Amino acid sequence: MRTKIVAGNWKMNNDLSASINLISEIKNSSIGKNFKTKIILCPPFTSLETANALLKGTKISLGAQNMYYEENGAYTGEISAKMLKSVGCEFVIIGHSERRTIFEESDEIINLKLKAALKNNLKPIFCIGETLEEREKDKTFDVIRRQVIDGLKDLSESEIQNIIFAYEPVWAIGTGKNATPYQAQEVHKFIRDLLQKEYSTYLSDNIIIQYGGSVKPDNASELMAQPDIDGALVGGACLRSDSFIKIVESAE
């Protein structure tokens, strides 16, 4: 049986003081102790080292929101996988829709980032999803297929086993809209079937696929009850401890 994983992507929110407060509230709550659900917090870069110290001794893991694919060099403003490892990160979000749309990251760039993360023993949360225009033109499955195939190019099945997938329809990110449980399940099953076809039944059966896109306490239970949805990548609702805690509780 696959483990449920709930990750909180704080995006460009919370200075160091706010990060300390939020982490303290989460780790001192019921979900900071004996929950079966895997919890990952992804604060901004400026809070990672402090977050790592605060999470010591808990079952909550630390992730970053992005990274560059080169190990070092003249890349002003970028952060490498090795740097993330040095401050305690176990996970890193790769290919978030905001990186794809606002910063125009291509499937090729995302593929390089996935390879760099895996090389440095960081577990990627690999985001895929279609825009509203693509869905309305019935291109959802074509887009998902391309993003999966191109994103995983030249990766072995054993490497892919260390990746968490996250389906996040772009039209549901920060809009208040979310895919219905049926819509989300349909795409999750498509991803699982695609992995079975391209790799193996074992990989398809065991890969973790989260849903992301306006996940809130009032829709989390129904979404995560779907057979192919293995948790959530939470955006705005993770910035308040009470709502994030309720979402994690919904995964149990």
**Domain residue extents for the chain:** 5-250
Share of residues in the chain with pLDDT > 70 (%): 98
Residue 71 is a catalytic residue:
no
pLDDT tops 90 at residue 227: yes
Of 96, 98, 134, 188, catalytic = 96
**What value does the mean pLDDT of the chain take?**
95
Give alpha helix (H) positions in 59-180: 81-86, 97-101, 107-119, 132-136, 140-151, 157-160
Residue 96 is a catalytic residue:
yes
Of 98, 130, 134, 168, catalytic = 168
- pLDDT at residue 252 in the model: 82
- pLDDT at residue 36 in the model: 87
- pLDDT at residue 35 in the model: 75
User: How large is the average pLDDT for residues 231-247?
Assistant: 97
Per-residue pLDDT tens over the stretch 66-100: 999 999 999 999 999 999 999 999 999 999 999 99
Per-residue pLDDT tens over the stretch 11-63: 999 999 999 999 999 999 988 776 789 999 999 999 999 999 999 999 999 99
Q: Name the pLDDT band for 138 (thresholds 50, 70, 90).
A: very high
Helix, strand or coil, per DSSP, at residue 150: helix
- pLDDT at residue 34 in the model: 64
CATH 3.60.15.10 fits 5-250, yes or no: no
User: How large is the average pLDDT for residues 205-210?
Assistant: 98
**C-alpha span between 240 and 238 (Å, rounded):** 5
- pLDDT at residue 171 in the model: 85
Residues in CB range of 87: below 8 A, 6 or more apart: 48, 49, 52
pTM: 0.96
